[in-house]
Amino acid sequence: MNVSVDSLTITVAGGRKLLSEVNCLVQPGDMVALMGPSGAGKTTLLNSMVGRSIMGSVSGGISYNGKSLGTVRSNIGYVTQDDIMYETLTPRENLSFAASFILPKLGKAQQKEVVEDVINKLNLAKCADTVVGSPGLVRGISGGERKRTNVGLSLIGKPALLLLDEPTSGLDSKMSDSLMKDVKTVAEQGCTVVATIHQPSELVFSRFDKVLLLAGGQTAYYGPIKGLRDSLSNLGFLCPLGTPLPELLLDVLEKPAAGADREEHEKKLINLRALTDSTGKDTTVFSPGGSEMPAARRAGFCKQLAILFQREAVNVKRNKPLTVVRAVQSIAAALLIGLIFVQLERNMTSIQVRLFASFLLVFAQFMFAILGVANAFPAERAVFLRETQDKLYHPAAFYLAKVAIDTVLQSLFPILVVAVAYPLIGLNGESADRVLWFYFIMAIVSNCGAAVGFMVSAAVPSVTIALSIVPGLVMPQLLLSGIFIKVEDLVQPFNALSYLMVARYAVQATVTNEFSCSAKQDCDAQVWRVADPNQCSASPCDFCCTAHEKLASGGICPTLTCDDALRFLALDEIWPSGDTHEETISYNVAALLILLLFFRLQGLNVLMMSYRKATTGRCLPCRFSRPAAVNSEVSV
Ligand SMILES: Nc1ncnc2c1ncn2[C@@H]1O[C@H](COP(=O)(O)OP(=O)(O)O)[C@@H](O)[C@H]1O
Ligand SMILES: [Mg+2]
């Protein structure tokens, strides 16, 4: 691919120029070393070439075979400085999944062949089946192996342009050379390569065809490496024999302290840059249409979804400790609440206590779900951003696969909670319906929590920030659920806000469910309202008053039936409510499902936003400084 950078200038707030009038034309098959001191703008230039995280205002542009980035993006491989991949998978699995996305046309066997080829080429055979791991946390493959896997991920698709940001950092010289040798082979097959490189050995450096020397965001030299040493000495730079050329180049950029030397040095640098201009301009062709290169075909949406689903399942399986911890946490919370509210009696006080117990179970489920997801997603964010920017899949496919697997998990934990807490507390076990409804409500609550947790963790860059936002979202659930103050007694805007609370509908549904009992024919209200509290154990009614409760109610026990209990809790006048208890429960569950859908859609929205933000709203080639006559086909 032919890449033309035209007077690219990037200015950030405060007027600082990260790049200033950078020009270069890279021909197909060229292997260009991008060099310069730290902070020279190398990463910024590479990022610009793939339209990533471009800050500030931009002038000039970049074209690829005379086309805009959008049309060729899937033919570009970018090896970032950070090695971003799934840490729970092995290098072979990481490469295989990449192959499934990038080479959907090939059969499984052919994809495997490509993966094995990359593994052999990059010398990964030894570690191919070891889990990648994360440095300092989970032991896995070595730094060099991570780096080579990272390069491998970009080679799978046989890109037409390969950009590498410090691919050799952290590798020993032999490894660096073998890596660059492989990259050179790729270049020889017609792939254009641009690699930033830090202190390369002479051998590694000699594999490159050209060097782009950046200093303070400006081009100091761009041209062939061949004969560069002679040119430097001709220009009057000191070139002691034995000093490797890469080192000489960095020395050249180092400005001497103020004085005559400095002026002299500036002049030499200007002459060096002049050399650039001539080499830059006489480059043979700039083809407006470019040599035709079909955009790499990626897997279709359904295929993406299937691959992502499979990968997410493997990922969850590997993350077993996390799942186990969450399961144990669910059981522990259920056990604690169950033991505190153990075997509630059927008196008037227990009616209120049943409300509290239901609320606590709902609340704990919601909170654990939020925290579990908010803790886990930020680690995957980097992989998600890398892969979507590399156009491996659509963000929505990632989200759907994730939600599908998460829904299964979130629906499993409440089974444990119900199995432990329900019988311990002695909640309504009149029929299986009651228990199933309770479970169903808890499962939706858990999913709502996960959806909110995902929204938060997709919106912010780190776990720390996500975790500091969570309490702000949990508190309203506590205050506006109608437990402390009935929702209709809340002042505005809290009353209005309570309509958005998961806890509100969940409590209404669980409590209505708790007090849905069959009518007790033997329970004669005339008799039992005034009956002796000592005979409560013989009462056929749902509830019975203690002596104290009866006395406080003026000698008449007001709560005998489940309906009395709901009236006592003022839960017979809730919104939404139906003609029967079943209807009321269904309406509240429907409200919960609507909230769940809303949160899930918002989660997708936030994910798309963070994707767009990272990919940058602007596309560089939109602003061409090239005359239209020269470059008529550039898309606008
Ligand atoms: N968004 C930004 N705002 C301001 N300065 C930035 C921003 N991004 C990078 N920089 C600065 O731009 C300079 C070039 O960065 P970079 O391209 O990463 O350098 P390097 O050549 O080491 O890869 C650095 O001094 C860095 O601090
Ligand atoms: Mg850098």
pLDDT (tens digit, 9 = 90+) per residue, 25-58?
998 889 999 999 999 999 999 999 988 877 788 8
627 located within any domain? no
Taking residues 505-531, what's their average pLDDT? 93
If you take atom 17 of ligand 1, which residue's CA is the nearest one? 41
Residue 67, helix vs strand vs coil: strand
User: Are 598 and 547 members of one domain?
Assistant: no
Residue 82, helix vs strand vs coil: coil
Task: From 42, 43, 44, 80, give the residue whose CB has the most ligand 1 atoms within 8 Å, as the site to mutate.
Answer: 44
Alpha carbon of 45 to ligand 2 centroid (Å): 9
Q: Residue 280 above 70 pLDDT? A: no
Quote the mean pLDDT of the chain: 88
Taking residues 599-622, what's their average pLDDT? 78
If you take atom 18 of ligand 1, which residue's CA is the nearest one? 43
Alpha carbon of 378 to ligand 2 centroid (Å): 23
Q: Is 218 in the pocket of ligand 1 (CB under 6 A)?
A: no
User: Are 466 and 548 members of one domain?
Assistant: no
Q: Residue 390 above 90 pLDDT? A: no
The rounded distance, in Å, linking the Cα atoms of 196 and 34 is: 4
pTM of the model: 0.87
Residue with tokens 């002042």: 491
Q: Residue 618 above 60 pLDDT? A: no
User: Are 196 and 325 members of one domain?
Assistant: no
User: Are 333 and 413 members of one domain?
Assistant: yes
pLDDT given for residue 285 in this prediction: 40
Convert the pLDDT of each residue in 571-588 to its tens digit: 888 899 999 999 999 999
Convert the pLDDT of each residue in 467-494 to its tens digit: 999 999 999 999 999 998 988 899 999 9
User: Are 178 and 323 members of one domain?
Assistant: no
182: nearest Cα among 118, 265, 249, 239: 118
The atom number, within ligand 1, closest to the CA of 214 reads 21
Write out the two tokens for 327: 């399961």
For the CA of 169, the nearest ligand: 2
595 located within any domain? yes
- For the chain, what's the residue count? 636
Q: Residue 614 above 90 pLDDT? A: no
Taking residues 342-361, what's their average pLDDT? 94
Q: Which amino acid is at 628?
A: A
User: Are 541 and 452 members of one domain?
Assistant: no
Taking residues 156-185, what's their average pLDDT? 87
pLDDT given for residue 291 in this prediction: 45
624 located within any domain? no
633 located within any domain? no
User: Are 166 and 260 members of one domain?
Assistant: yes
For the CA of 55, the nearest ligand: 1
Q: Is 65 in the pocket of ligand 1 (CB under 6 A)?
A: no
Question: Number of structural domains, the chain?
Answer: 3
The atom number, within ligand 1, closest to the CA of 47 reads 17
Taking residues 550-564, what's their average pLDDT? 93
The atom number, within ligand 1, closest to the CA of 42 reads 21
User: Are 255 and 380 members of one domain?
Assistant: no
If you take atom 2 of ligand 1, which residue's CA is the nearest one? 55
85 located within any domain? yes
Task: Give residue 277's pLDDT band: very low, low, confident or very high (50, 70, 90).
Answer: low
If you take atom 24 of ligand 1, which residue's CA is the nearest one? 39
User: Are 79 and 153 members of one domain?
Assistant: yes
* Cβ 48 vs Cβ 18: under 8 Å: no
pLDDT given for residue 284 in this prediction: 41
Domain holding 237: CATH number?
3.40.50.300
Q: Is 43 in the pocket of ligand 1 (CB under 6 A)?
A: yes
* Cβ 77 vs Cβ 159: under 8 Å: yes
The rounded distance, in Å, linking the Cα atoms of 115 and 125 is: 11
222: nearest Cα among 406, 413, 83, 35: 35
The atom number, within ligand 1, closest to the CA of 41 reads 17
Q: Is 537 in the pocket of ligand 1 (CB under 6 A)?
A: no
Least confident residue range of 85-94, 237-246, 281-290, 354-363: 281-290
For the CA of 13, the nearest ligand: 1
Alpha carbon of 362 to ligand 2 centroid (Å): 48
Q: Residue 351 above 90 pLDDT? A: yes
Q: Is 213 in the pocket of ligand 1 (CB under 6 A)?
A: no
User: Are 526 and 457 members of one domain?
Assistant: no
Q: What is the largest CA-CA distance in the chain?
A: 116
628 located within any domain? no
User: Are 525 and 502 members of one domain?
Assistant: no
| Residues whose beta carbons lie less than 5 angstroms from ion ligand 2 | 43
Least confident residue range of 83-92, 116-125, 553-562: 116-125
Alpha carbon of 55 to ligand 1 centroid (Å): 10
* Cβ 610 vs Cβ 267: under 8 Å: no
The rounded distance, in Å, linking the Cα atoms of 244 and 246 is: 6
Task: Give residue 495's pLDDT band: very low, low, confident or very high (50, 70, 90).
Answer: very high
621 located within any domain? no
Q: Residue 621 above 90 pLDDT? A: no
The rounded distance, in Å, linking the Cα atoms of 624 and 60 is: 6
pLDDT given for residue 421 in this prediction: 97
Quote the domain boundaries for residue 490.
316-519+575-615
Q: Residue 617 above 80 pLDDT? A: no
Q: Is 354 in the pocket of ligand 1 (CB under 6 A)?
A: no
Q: Residue 623 above 70 pLDDT? A: no
pLDDT given for residue 461 in this prediction: 83
Task: Give residue 287's pLDDT band: very low, low, confident or very high (50, 70, 90).
Answer: very low
User: Are 423 and 373 members of one domain?
Assistant: yes
For the CA of 38, the nearest ligand: 1
For the CA of 166, the nearest ligand: 2
Write out the two tokens for 258: 């103020």
In 10 A of CB 627, how many CB atoms? 8
Convert the pLDDT of each residue in 66-103 to its tens digit: 888 888 888 899 999 889 999 999 999 999 999 999 99
Q: Residue 629 above 90 pLDDT? A: no
Q: What angle do CA 617, 218, 190 make, to 5 degrees?
A: 70
Q: Is 22 in the pocket of ligand 1 (CB under 6 A)?
A: no
Taking residues 242-263, what's their average pLDDT? 84
The rounded distance, in Å, linking the Cα atoms of 192 and 185 is: 11
310 located within any domain? no
The rounded distance, in Å, linking the Cα atoms of 149 and 129 is: 12
